[in-house]
Structure 1
Amino acid sequence: MPDSGATLLWQVIRQDDNGNHYRVGRYATQDEAQKVADTLGGRGHKQLYWVERISEPAR
């Protein structure tokens, strides 16, 4: 996948019913990440989804 140059500072995290955490994806905006988390969380499964900010890499 080519580098689009976008800075992906927001990630969606999933916690399953055993307490394991997985990164679902990275997104450019908090709003975009929250929409994904809300959509996934609304599917009626036991998993919990939330949004976290990723710190910017040092340049």
Structure 2
Amino acid sequence: MSDGGAVLPWLVIREDGNGNRYRVGSYATRAEAEKAAARLHRSGGEQLYVVERVARGS
């Protein structure tokens, strides 16, 4: 099922020191997501940013 919108299967997730996770961005390609995560990490200090792919059908 498609709603006609853009497909953005790559997520950037921020994890804090307590294990809480927050989605901070969605991207069309892994390369875009990794570039954004690297930029956020450089500006965010101790925060951990990870790239994950959304499971199909989610």
TM-score under structure 2 length normalisation: 0.81
Point out where structure 1 has 5 or more consecutive residues left out of the alignment.
none
Percent of counterpart pairs with the same letter?
Answer: 55
Give the 5 Å matches for 1:1-59: 5-57=5-57
Give the structure-1-normalised TM-score. 0.79
Q: Which runs of 5+ in 2 are unaligned?
A: none
Greater mean alpha carbon deviation, residues 32-41 or residues 49-58:
49-58
CA RMSD of aligned residues (A): 2.0
Query: Which protein is richer in helix relative to its size?
Result: 2
